[in-house]
Structure 1
Amino acid sequence: MDAVHKNDLSTPVEQLHSNEQLKLRSRYLRGTLEHSLADPVSASIAADDALLTKFFGVYQQDDRDLREERRVSRLEPLYQFMVRVRLPGGICTAEQWLALDAQARATANGELRLTTRQTFQFHGVLKHNLSRHLQGLVAAGLDTIAACGDDNRNVICTANPLFSQAHAQATLTAKKLSERLMPRTGAYREVLLQERAQQAPPENEEPLYGPTYLPRKFKIAIAVPPCNDVDIYAHDLGFVAIVEQGVIVGYNVLVGGGMGMTHKVPATFPRLSSAAGFCDAADIGEVAEHTMCIQRDFGDRLDRAHARFKYTIEDRGVEWFKEELARRLGKPLLPARDFQFESNGDQYGWRQGEDGRWHGTLFIRNGRIADAPGAPLMSTLREIARQVPVTFALTTNQNVALAGVAEADRARIDDLLRAGGLHGIADPIALERNAMACVALPTCGLAMAESERYLPSLLGKLDVIVNELGLAATPITIRMSGCPNGCSRPFLAAIGLVGKAPGKYNLYLGGTVRGERLNALHRENIGEQQILDTLRPLLAAYASERLAGECFGDFLVRTGVVPLMLDGRRFQLTQPPGVAGSARP
């Protein structure tokens, strides 16, 4: 592959975005990382090297709670690293769970975090522990390659491969796609794992990516209807399994989804993916590779804010994509087939799979696995991994399913949970069952407001309202993000809260329980009391006026509280009620 993507060979290198120039001169992501990691003077690494480590699932961060205190004390920020595991399909054996648990306590901050992309994050990894931390993961049969960076990220799919034959197919496919599209550079082992190279690297270490990799991150998801737990429309490339007689025969192909935007910049917006057609199950690898390479070749490498695949599709059109894919595949996609989603949340409690084994989905508040007074969650899950033959299946809603449990072991798991102060396989308050938050402060450098640390408090106040209104058993999706990058997929929720400033959020309303529609801006830059005062009358009206089976988001659209929002380009142009120039459909 040429240094510049195919449709822009005439662009001088110096005109490319600085990230593109860095990748090009980095020697396949090596940069000066070896020197940075060996430097004993600072707990940080050089800024350019910090960009390169993202390709290996490693983010340099600092504790923002302590920035000012350390500045006054003339100390550098408390630098540390977040490390994210590549875990396609979210599947983890009991042995791997124990290894991850041990690694968290030995070389991180003693906690595990479940992400919205079906994997683990470690926080608080210090520079002098980074190689040892990564080596421990590799020893457990895991790695962190492409968990971040301008490459194909962790491939997610509908949780739990043991639930049915179709689920097993989807999980195996996720693993195969992850391996097929994984970067090949030797920098990960040479520099981060500190393994001496046995031979000189090939001239072109990245036959698929080339030296400049992708313009931005690329995300793939696989959904098995009727469950849309992966929020299939939120990803660059989505595959919807078409199941016949219990077997996946092929996939509907969805392209150009994505959540991130920038406040007050209408040229940026979340976008729902578009249907491009259907492919046979045997062709999914070729379709995925060619689609990613179309973005490699045509994505914007000048303006990073415009570099995601959603903008390539939005600008050029789905028909253009279908023609380009057909040219590369040697055949067109077939017409998309019918399917139906019923929910985009997790189903808590015990469920029995096709083979008679049991699967229990355990609620994990904001994905944080840690011990707390009276509720030693981390220790309890450690004991389950030690005592019960079980597979841990992570969900994209930051929960975990204990999968493949024999009938005789169900009671033992319940006993271990109760002994740990956890009163059953699932025990969230009403609204928490369908709530999600990103990590945000204090470690995320992009966060404008609290998210993970604040959402439980807000939900406790909202829970009082829904209980008073008799809505405790009604699923209402609530998602909070500390910034508009949307890692918690807030723009698909019935209630989305997106940080603007400390204690201030934009309130978005109107998403559905099926995840196939964007919500719309209802209030801007409001604090907690305004959030509660705004939602109380809307929830009261919903409780008394809803139609049979109508979800909260559908009710808000039907009654005109917010407009129907399907077009991403209109997302930031549609103003909340009472704002001059309000655009309504």
Structure 2
Amino acid sequence: MGQEGKLSKIEIIKRNSNYLRGTIVEALQDGTSHFSEENIQVLKFHGTYQQDDRDLRRQLTKEGKERAYSMMIRARIPGGVLSADQYLQFDKLADDYGNGTMRITTRQTFQLHGILKANLKETIKGINEVLITTLGGCGDQVRNTVSCAAPHEGPFYDAVRQDLLKLVDATSAKTNAYHEIWLDGEKLDLSDGTSPEDPLYGEAYLPRKFKIAFTYEGDNCCDVYSNDIAIIAHRDGDEVEGYTLAIGGGMGRTASDKHTHPFLAQAFCFVKPDELIETCRTVISIQRDFGNRENRKFARMKYLVQERGIEWFRTEAEARLGHALALPREIEWKSAHDHLGRMSGANGQVHLGFFIENGRIHDTESMKLKSVLRDIMTTYQPGVRMTTQQNLILTGLTEEMASEIEGKLRDAGVKLVEEQTPVLVHSMACPSMPTCGLGIAESERALPAIVRKFESALAELGLRDEPISIRMTGCANGCARPYIAEIGFVGRVIGKYDLFLGASAEGTRTNQLFREMVPAEELVSTVYPILKAFREERLPAETFGDYCNRVGIEALQERFVPVS
């Protein structure tokens, strides 16, 4: 599959990139405002995307001017764990070179937007100065590896963290190009025909992006099944008994192609801790060798798993490993909520998790979030954890520090989680307009107003305290994981969205398409009668997603979609 026939355009670019070098060095010195298409594709492996301000496109074209180009930089921060000083470096770089904002992504890392090409190298160097890289932030390789962000303490959790870091190292690209280009590292002499081919990725890397997530059995706050490899840790006292692996998850689809779908990872095997790295690398190598390199719409590993089947995948992995794989364990999930509010730690420590709407850290007239966080980081030097639901946890505080920080947040106009509705706290949106080149409809700029209309509707129905998850994306790629939200809005054209309903609150079931092309101003009114029916017909303790799934999408359509 994908190894014969015509290669996609991007596959050819990768093969001709001289192991991710392209002509980036020359382009950084050519005085222009943007990169060529070939370099744009290679730059993704280095953690940066070329974008432009889409709000200005039409006017600039009318004036005969070029687009307002800039770069987005995405770091690689395994598990979203930072020091206060590392956080402050991103804060400074956002002001010095970016648009003054920082964005927490759904993969526990920071994106900086608005970086001009002329400042790209200095920004990437600045990130590396605090021992963080952008290599692996994007591109057809293993992306930032995520995990449950709960600030648990003890030998078991320390061991899982160490296994995560070892796996990150074992699955990171080994090219020297990154250090050559951005950190003025020693340039390799390839004139003698020496091949610096990556031992895992080879010459052409993977057919498509690859995502890995860790979590602890019972806690699915990181939507572990949405990843290519889901790694679930099992505990035996203070030790890691082993890991259950599930494979083949992925959110993206193409709205115009009914053969594309979001999938959740399927149970694959159980491994002991010392078998984890080799098994994961083997899974990655199978995707490398058999994944579709002709059509990028079908290049994610989820399509290989769906086409060949789990049993074929297990047989292939066992042949490469040279031993049989143990069967996966049965998994029981208890929660998928983010870890927000005050949490007690060891030795009297306190951890504080708080909601950041759509992950955007910036100052507005009514809320000085970026400024107050800078003050908090400087004053208290907490540990920092980003969550996969785009929120922030401050760790290692005393009770007094936590109270002072809560006061500072309130004074800055930042509400604590107990002061916000569950539907707001469970909402997420991708950036989309005006920076993302793939965005078709608004997302981050649209969802806040829509969620507040939902808040009013739920209050009217007596459902204010229902933790219903709402997620929105500006296109079908699904970066905010809308397909595992109880209510998912996916941009189809400007101002209109496909509406999905019925995912499980535990992240173990995708939702289904309820209605296409719903205007933004009708999203709340379209869902309202279903919410009313849920209130009247729900079973004891039944969630909204489970209600929609129990009743069935077709039955809901018959009752609530008007006949045209």
TM range (shorter): over 0.9
Alignment counterpart, residue 457 of structure 1, candidates 442, 446, 449: 449
Alignment counterpart, residue 19 of structure 2, candidates 22, 28, 37: 28
Equivalence for 1:180: 170
User: Does residue 479 of the first structure (1) align with residue 468 of the second (2)?
Assistant: no
Q: CA deviation at 1:415?
A: 2.4
Q: CA deviation at 1:562?
A: 5.0
Q: CA deviation at 1:428?
A: 3.1
Matches within 5 A, 1:400-479: 400-424=392-416, 427-479=419-471
Q: CA deviation at 1:575?
A: 11
Q: Map Cα deviations across residues 433-473 of structure 1 (whole Å, 9 max, x no partner).
A: 10100000001111110000100000111110101112111
CA distance in 2, matches of 1:150, 1:503: 31
Equivalence for 2:309: 317
CA distance in 2, matches of 1:115, 1:543: 33
Aligned length: 561
- Does the 8 Å contact 1:161/1:167 carry over to 2? no
Equivalence for 2:341: 349
Equivalence for 2:545: 553
Q: CA deviation at 1:377?
A: 0.5
Q: What are the ranges of 5 or more consecutive residues in structure 1 without an aligned counterpart?
A: 1-6, 565-573, 581-585
Equivalence for 1:241: 233
CA distance in 1, matches of 2:274, 2:403: 41
Equivalence for 1:387: 379
Q: Cα gap change, 1:30/1:45 in structure 2, threshold over 3 Å: closer, same or farther?
A: same
Q: CA deviation at 1:325?
A: 1.2
CA distance in 1, matches of 2:124, 2:555: 47
Out of 212-221 and 401-410, give the one that drifted further: 401-410
Secondary structure of 2:122's counterpart equals helix
TM-score when scaled to structure 2? Answer: 0.95
Equivalence for 1:523: 515
Out of 319-328 and 501-510, give the one that drifted further: 319-328
Alignment counterpart, residue 62 of structure 2, candidates 63, 72, 80: 72
Q: Map Cα deviations across residues 84-119 of structure 1 (whole Å, 9 max, x no partner).
A: 000011000011011111111111111110000110
Q: What are the ranges of 5 or more consecutive residues in structure 2 without an aligned counterpart?
A: none
Q: CA deviation at 1:576?
A: 11
Amino acid aligned to 1:47? E
Q: CA deviation at 1:198?
A: 7.2
Q: Cα gap change, 1:437/1:165 in structure 2, threshold over 3 Å: closer, same or farther?
A: farther
Alignment counterpart, residue 187 of structure 2, candidates 191, 197, 219: 197
Secondary structure of 2:56's counterpart equals helix
Q: Cα gap change, 1:211/1:22 in structure 2, threshold over 3 Å: closer, same or farther?
A: same
Alignment counterpart, residue 495 of structure 2, candidates 498, 503, 507: 503
Secondary structure of 2:55's counterpart equals helix
Alignment counterpart, residue 216 of structure 2, candidates 217, 224, 237: 224
CA distance in 2, matches of 1:562, 1:462: 24
User: Does residue 269 of the first structure (1) align with residue 255 of the second (2)?
Assistant: no
CA distance in 2, matches of 1:287, 1:274: 16
Equivalence for 2:297: 305
Q: CA deviation at 1:30?
A: 1.0
Q: Map Cα deviations across residues 99-158 of structure 1 (whole Å, 9 max, x no partner).
A: 111111111111110000110000000000000000100101111001100101100010
CA distance in 2, matches of 1:575, 1:146: 46
Q: CA deviation at 1:33?
A: 1.5
Alignment counterpart, residue 161 of structure 2, candidates 164, 171, 176: 171
Matches within 5 A, 1:206-221: 206-221=198-213
Q: Cα gap change, 1:470/1:148 in structure 2, threshold over 3 Å: closer, same or farther?
A: same
Question: How well do the aligned residues superpose, as a CA RMSD in angstroms?
Answer: 2.1
- Does the 8 Å contact 1:160/1:167 carry over to 2? no
TM-score when scaled to structure 1? Answer: 0.92
Secondary structure of 2:279's counterpart equals helix
